[in-house]
Amino acid sequence: MRIVGVDPGTKTFDIVALEEGVIVAEKSLDTITIAKDPQKLMEAIDSLNPDYVVAPSGYGIPLTFGDNVRNSRRLAVEVLLLSSEEDIKIGVEAGEIGIWVYDAIAKTISHLVNGYRERAVFLPGVIHLPTVPWYRKINKVDMGTVDKLASTFLAVFEISERFNVDYSDVNLIVVELGYGYIATIAVEKGVIVDGIGGTYASIGTLTAGALDLEVVVGAKSWSRWDVFHGGIFYKSSTFDLSTVIKGFEKSEEPYTSMFRVFIESIVKDVNRVRASTPRSDIVVLTGRHSRYEVVAKHIREYLKDLDVITLRGLKGVSKAKEAAQGYTAIGEGIVGGVFKELAEHMKVKDACGTAVDYIIHPRAKNFVERVRGAYIESIYKPKLCEEGSL
């Protein structure tokens, strides 16, 4: 079987074809290109002749095949992207690239559902997993989107292989350093037990991350695309981390402070999840910005008691990021193959509910009801969590 996975990255969309655990084809398309012409993404996927496609899954849903989707557009916009048609319309008219990307993803999802049916696969995010205790999910949405789960899946597989240990003996922390967002995922005995996702994590390169609620009430009015703004790039007046690093090395402001807050934020988030995986002595760096050695060097200086490493990736990989590899590996494990045992161990099939199920703040009541309703009405057989797990 040929499994094709699609990672909708902030900088690039990476597409990977996997056969028997080996990557046999890779494509990388600029996100801006896809935002302007989503047809290019659809054509790139189709050209790889997949038996199954692991679709872009955003914030995630319980494991779902395309033939179980009754309304692909609504599922994409309201559940996977936690947006609305009004958000999309206003954002597109305003020229907000992030919303153009959302619209492109939604159109691609409809294409995959209509064209591949039961051969299109949608995956959960961290918050959907039963291995994360429900009390850690309270008032959370982004504990790690699907791409972060994918990177972690790859990390568990590779560490198990590299050190010749069972999955149940893998304890680690994954730090995904994406182009715009950072996430920190805790793994205990080979399963995910906690996570801090990009919009809830400390400041990233694009996103402001978790905000003081005084900022929220002070600004009063917010748009869907405001989650894309407020990170260190906005103070640095650049969208290139290498420029920030060069300024830091020359002790120039604001680069010095922006680089320091970037590194310290990563370290603080690592320390926030360490309590959930006390056996861990490994931090795995993944994502675009993990390729900067100076970033890894400064993280190591703060985490001297932990082994900070990067991944080699699957056999055959040359350029695809860890998330794309993981997306495809999970899909291959779901339909049976090299990664079947790990997919079962990490309980991907047992995911349930929606990303908003654990919000208890009364102000968000309508938001929760809207997303839950959209999920139930977009899927023929929705998989809700049992009452005891909420």
pLDDT tens-digit map of 156-192:
999 999 999 999 999 999 999 999 999 999 999 999 9
Average of per-residue pLDDT across 339-367: 97
What three-state secondary structure class fits 290? helix
Tokens of 100: 């153009």
For the chain, give the number of residues.
390
Residues 10 and 31: beta-carbon distance below 8 Å: yes
pLDDT tens-digit map of 36-84:
999 999 999 999 999 999 999 999 999 999 999 999 999 999 999 999 9
pLDDT tens-digit map of 249-290:
999 999 999 999 999 999 999 999 999 999 999 999 999 999
Show the domain range for 363. 3-389
| pLDDT at residue 94 in the model | 87
Is the pLDDT assigned to residue 389 strictly greater than 70?
no
Query: In CATH, what number is assigned to the domain containing residue 311?
Result: 3.30.420.40
pLDDT tens-digit map of 201-228:
999 999 999 999 999 999 989 998 899 8
Q: How many CA atoms, within 13 angstroms, populate the side-chain half-sphere of residue 106?
A: 23
pLDDT, averaged across the chain = 96
> What is the per-residue burial (b if ≥16 Cβ within 10 Å, else e) of 62-80?
bbbbbebbebbebbbbbbb
- The DSSP bridge pattern shows strands 191-196 and 52-54 to be unpaired
Nearest to 174 by CA among 85, 276, 262: 276
What three-state secondary structure class fits 95? coil
Helix locations, 117-240, DSSP H:
146-163, 213-219, 232-236
DSSP annotation of 270: H
- What does the DSSP assignment read for 207-263? B--S--HHHHHHH----GGGGG-BSHHHHHT-S-HHHHHHHHHTT-TTHHHHHHHHH
- 110 φ, ψ (degrees, to nearest 5): -60, -40
pLDDT tens-digit map of 223-247:
988 998 999 999 999 999 999 999 9
Is the pLDDT assigned to residue 390 strictly greater than 80?
no
Helix locations, 275-302, DSSP H:
293-302
**Structural domain total, the chain:** 1
